[in-house]
Copies of this chain bind each other. A is one copy, B any other.
Amino acid sequence: MLPQPVKKIGKQTLQFTQPPVIFSMSSIVGPMEGKGPYGKAFDYVLEDTLFGEKSWEKAESKMLREAIKRALLKVNLEAKDIDFMFAGDLLNQIVAANFAAREINIPFLGLYGACSTMVEGLALGAVMIDVGSAHRVAVGASSHHNTAERQYRMPTEQGAQRVLWGQWTVTGAGGVLLVKEGSGPVITHCTVGQVIDLGIKDANDMGSCMAPAAADTIIRHFQDLGRQPSDYDLILSGDLGSVGLNITKELLGFEGYDVKNNMTDSGVMIYHPDQDTHAGGSGCGCISVMLCGPILRRMAEGLYKRILAVGTGALLSPISTQQGESVPAIAHAVVIEARP
């Protein structure tokens, strides 16, 4: 039997023997995210939410396409140099990703993990690279405030009042290029989550829905690897928002994991408190742009040596809610380490 480059450790975690390199990344955000505390850390801030297109859906697809193309451009690569592309988004039938892939011409594998999609893609992309299936893999995910609002809740033109525990879908897209050999931080492990549903039916309270899934995956990750929170400079969740982040910290505390000092959430970080987003940001784009923007920049500056990025997804649809279902959720995690 051949030696195996990928090693499964414990119940849900994979360890990469030749850790794939995050060789390039790009982030595009909307005007509101550009005015947030990390506005200057993103590659490109849209002047308006339409990005020169006739609809928000087309604008979202263009953001995703541009994020992936810019990640390649930065390292002088083209689509033909890339083996596979993983991407997804929140739109019905992931049309932002499908239409982006139409313009890019890379063999394409569509994903749906709600707001965990970017991390799901990084995990699967890392598997493909580590085992030699691919030398270079592109990964991308996007969301758009106006497309998500009209699909999941109310058209934004209606000006409906939002609940205080609601979150604001981030307008943004991130693109990552993973390679076999090169300089940059590496993905050393991934932990694939299970679907968890503790019965919450308020589709506006996504933080509470996702917190148990986030805690479950983080606990599994620690157990599988025999690690502690202190092994990470930062534990970054995707879009738990302020409500979900607090619940997750509490759930982890019950199990003896103290993350008070080193865990935060992309949705909590991305907006100023006075931007009136209530519980913070959400959407596939949330962790995508925070990772591809400020977080990996800080890692390059030496601020973080090892982080745990935890994508969190609420796996509902408007129809499942209308049919009385509660909201299942999932979280996937990847470990990213700085390499000298």
Chain A residues within CB distance 8 Å of chain B? 1-8, 11-12, 14, 17-18, 54-55, 57-58, 83-84, 88, 90-95, 98-99, 101-102, 105-114, 120, 123-124, 127-128, 130-134, 192-197, 315-320, 323, 325, 328, 330
Pairwise interchain contact B101-A195, C-beta atoms closer than 8 A: yes
CB A229 to nearest CB in B, in angstroms, measures 22
Least CB distance, A156 to chain B, in whole angstroms: 15
Q: Given the complex, which residues of B lie within 8 Å of A14, measured CB to CB?
A: 133
B residues within 8 A CB of A124?
A: 109, 124
- Please state if B4 and A195 are interface contacts (CB–CB under 8 Å): no
The reply to whether B315 and A98 contact each other, CB–CB distance below 8 Å, is yes
Bound-state Cα–Cα, A17 to B133, Å: 11
Question: Which residue on chain B has the smallest CB distance to residue A3?
Answer: B2
Judging by beta carbons under 8 Å apart, are A318 and B133 in contact?
Answer: no
Across the interface, do A328 and B102 meet the contact criterion of CB distance under 8 Å? yes
Q: Is the CB of A99 within 8 A of B4?
A: no
Question: Which residues of B have CB within 8 Å of A17?
Answer: 2
Cα separation A12 to B192 with both chains bound (whole Å): 26
Q: Are A131 and B320 in contact (CB under 8 A)?
A: no
A48 to chain B, nearest CB (A): 18
Contact of A325 (CB < 8 Å), options: B18, B99, B107, B328: B99
State how many angstroms separate the Cβ of A187 from the closest Cβ of chain B. 14
A134 to B7, CA, bound (A): 9
B-chain residues with CB within 8 Å of residue A111 when the two chains form the complex: 109-112
User: Shortest beta-carbon distance, A83 to chain B, in Å?
Assistant: 7
CA gap between A93 and B90 in the complex, in Å: 7
| Given A91-B317, A99-B328, A105-B194; A18-B2 close (CB under 8 Å) | yes
10 smallest CB-CB distances across A and B, nearest first, come from: A4-B132, A131-B131, A98-B315, A93-B317, A107-B192, A112-B112, A101-B195, A102-B328, A92-B92, A102-B195
Contacts of A8 in B (CB 8 A): 83, 132-134
Measured in the bound complex, the distance between the Cα atoms of B84 and A125 in whole Å is 16
The chain B residue with its CB closest to the CB of A120 is B109
Known: A2-B18, A195-B108, A323-B58. A93 touches B95 (CB 8 A): no
| Given A93-B114, A99-B325, A102-B196, 20 extra CB contacts under 8 A | A2-B5, A6-B133, A12-B107, A14-B133, A55-B323, A57-B319, A92-B93, A92-B319, A95-B315, A98-B195, A101-B194, A101-B328, A105-B194, A105-B195, A107-B192, A108-B192, A108-B193, A109-B123, A124-B124, A127-B127
